A and B are shown apart, each in its own frame.
Chain A
């Protein structure tokens, strides 16, 4: 079945450091891929998405490239801020059926001044 695997957290960084959160997936067909972010006490918000191979999603300085050959969708940011502290979820939406969102376990990011 479809699944998403994320690197375990927490990830602790200093402000302005480079961020990578790894995400790999298993899916049949051609899924769409997403990164969602959850700030403390809030629901999930879409951060970025990619709907086909080699697409690059970007938003708020974050980027992720849909790599079909390595079944990966790693999240990167060149210079993190304290305000980026949150939980990040990688997710896929299958290309058939009810197009359910399948989530990874989430990675908590803590950025210190």
Chain B
């Protein structure tokens, strides 16, 4: 199916374990993003990528690692999970911004992964 999908939808893990959240998009969008959603903070950017093999830190990158070996995949890894990383994680993708009026600037979001660290 076309679109952007995240897996798993729900995950419970223990403190100190490594966990990877998957994100896959079928549009070949250049840009991909990882956000975390916490009450009172809205969505905060963790990492983003402008293309395969190009990634950069967002607002809250500590404790997370990303990779982008293929355009369609953008996994997020928590190297050693902590309780403060309990959150809902959203992946998003967007095509490269066009020029002139009517440029496509919409980002598309996955359904989210609810992660609980116990």
Whether the pair A51, B103 counts as a contact (CB closer than 8 A) is yes
Task: Identify whether the interface residues of A are mostly helix, strand, loop, or mixed.
Answer: strand
Number of residues on chain A facing chain B (CB within 8 A): 22
The interface size bin for chain B is: 20 to 34
Interface centre among A32, A44, A45 (most CB of B within 10 A): A44
Whether the pair A49, B42 counts as a contact (CB closer than 8 A) is no
Could you give, for residues 31-52 of chain A, a 1 whenever the CB lies within 8 Å of some chain B CB and a 0 otherwise? 0101010000011111001010
Question: A-contacting residues of B (Cβ < 8 Å)?
Answer: 31, 33, 35, 40-45, 48, 50, 56, 58, 90, 92, 94, 97, 101, 103, 105-107, 109-112
Among all A-B residue pairs, the 8 with the closest Cβ atoms: A105-B42, A43-B109, A103-B43, A44-B109, A103-B42, A106-B42, A43-B111, A32-B105
Question: B-contacting residues of A (Cβ < 8 Å)?
Answer: 6, 32, 34, 36, 42-46, 49, 51, 89, 93, 98-106
